[in-house]
Structure 1
Amino acid sequence: MNYPLSEKYMTAELMEKIMGPNPLKLEEELLIGHHIPKGATVCDLGSGQGLTSVFLVKEYGFRVYAADLWSDPEENRRFFASMGLTEEQIIPVKADAERLPFEQEFFDAVVSTDSYNYFGRDPDYLDSKLLPFVKPGGYLYITVPGMKHDCHDDLPPELLLSWTPEQLDYLHDVSYWKSIVEQCGGAEVLEVSEMASNAEVWADWLKQENEYAVGDRNAMEAGGGKYLNFIKIVLRKRG
């Protein structure tokens, strides 16, 4: 597919900030036809070094809280300023997804790109840890890396060239994620589906020279990508 919004950010400097398959292209596909109003207060959950947060502000007009446990808020703040954004538009927050430091019903929406699979596999997570911070009627747009078909009982050797069985346990198929989110009582499940983005977003990542991208090349160059996909999840909080 085409990525007219993401293409604006395909510079070597900005691509150095990605921490996996191109999150901007994933986010652009995730938000096709979205229902989040311009000016909404949005949590970018698992925002990494803040590139997706910048994208949400500049391309969609949201006010964004860039929430991440592992990145440095001061570094992100300097990056946001370098991109011409003010603290009225974008706020970096060091936050554990299990213990979010926000007021109840603070956000109009949550967007999570390539991180939810690390903390959202507990069926109780949505009701107990995330939805309390979303306004009634608010939306959650989530994309996770996944498998076309769960194969944990017989892992392909190509995948094991880069990842351990424990690391691969974070990847599951559409049926798995449907079974997780359909247990949520506080939100209506609008969509759980396979995304088109896979080869393109992986190609952008594998061009990077950091040790994680280099390590991932072993599996992908051996054909491991045929087992993998990305999954779109859309929920609306009841109320």
Structure 2
Amino acid sequence: MNRFPKAEPFDLSIVREKIMGPNPLKLAEELLESHQIPQGGVVLDLGSGTGITSALLAREYGFTVYAADLWSTPGENMRFFESLGLTNKNVIPLRVDASKGLPFADCFFDAVVSIDSYNYFGRDPKYLGENLLPYVKPGGYLYLAIPGMHKDCHDDLPQELLTSWTPDQLDYIHDMEWWRALISMTEGVRIVDMHEMACHREAWRDWVACDNEYAAGDRQAWDAGAVEYLNSIAITLRKLQ
């Protein structure tokens, strides 16, 4: 039985060209396994990168998706979406700096999805409540898949992790209890679920099999056994009514 029927239709060559870390299609599909987003809902893909998760959300789930990212080119992403048969009625690419506020009306989105990016801008205790939650409808959901650690070890970082990453880079990665404490500081939102993701190793294998310099750099840590200290964390939040 195929564990990822929505990710599977994407050609392997496209996946390896577009992904920028552990396979975001599989992370997204596992994250949304029991999602509560309404049919045809309006979804923000926050930190959408090259747009492959936005394509998944639009093509395989039928959402209207706003693909928001600071570093990718909206025109290039739109051409990618069009190559998959999507139009600007399905998915809208935008250049957005998530850390500086979003250009949307209050209560605009049914849900926010963020794959492998929230940890870059969401570590500010005020971020969720001030910069993101206002744009979600009351009762709406936020689905986050973020790189994590089984147990925070920043005071004594293992050499396996330092093979590929500096201490400053690893400061973006924390364990579930760290995230639970941070999110609990925000009023108006409830933690529905938080767990380690089952596809973590598989998503990493897909990434280190890619032929680019970033995957090659991370492959050194993978080969050294860094994955034993790491996990992928799924977080589901709901904005209170």
Per the TM superposition, whether the score is higher than 0.5 is yes
Where do residues 144-163 of structure 1 align in structure 2 (5 Å cutoff)?
Answer: 144-163=146-165
* 2:130 corresponds to which of 128, 131, 139: 128
Partner of 2:8: 7
Counterparts of 2:45 and 2:167 in 1: how far apart (Å)? Answer: 29
Q: Which consecutive residues of structure 1, in runs of 5 or more, have no partner in the other structure? A: none
Three-state SS of the structure 1 residue aligned to 2:156 is: coil
Task: Give the superposition deviation at 1:13.
Answer: 2.6
* 1:181 corresponds to which of 180, 183, 201: 183
Q: Which consecutive residues of structure 2, in runs of 5 or more, have no partner in the other structure? A: none
Partner of 1:102: 104
Task: Give the superposition deviation at 1:10.
Answer: 4.2
Partner of 1:226: 228
Task: Give the superposition deviation at 1:195.
Answer: 1.1
Task: Give the superposition deviation at 1:14.
Answer: 3.0
Q: Which runs of 4+ in 1 moved over 6 A?
A: none
Partner of 1:237: 239
Task: Give the superposition deviation at 1:15.
Answer: 2.1
Alpha-carbon RMSD across the aligned residues, in angstroms, is 1.0
Structure 2 counterpart of 1:140, which letter? L
Task: Give the superposition deviation at 1:227.
Answer: 0.4
Where do residues 52-201 of structure 1 align in structure 2 (5 Å cutoff)?
Answer: 52-98=53-99, 99-201=101-203
> Is the 1:197–1:229 Cα contact (8 Å) retained in structure 2?
no
Structure 2 counterpart of 1:48, which letter? G
Three-state SS of the structure 2 residue aligned to 1:3 is: coil
Task: Give the superposition deviation at 1:38.
Answer: 1.2
TM-score (norm 1): 0.98
> Is the 1:106–1:134 Cα contact (8 Å) retained in structure 2?
yes
Structure 1 counterpart of 2:119, which letter? N
TM-score (norm 2): 0.97
Counterparts of 1:232 and 1:195 in 2: how far apart (Å)? Answer: 6
1:181-239 alpha-carbon deviations (Å, 9 max, x no partner): 11110211111211112110010000111111001111110111000000011111112
Task: Give the superposition deviation at 1:180.
Answer: 0.9
Aligned length: 239
1:22-64 alpha-carbon deviations (Å, 9 max, x no partner): 0000000000111001100000000000000000011111000
Three-state SS of the structure 1 residue aligned to 2:143 is: strand
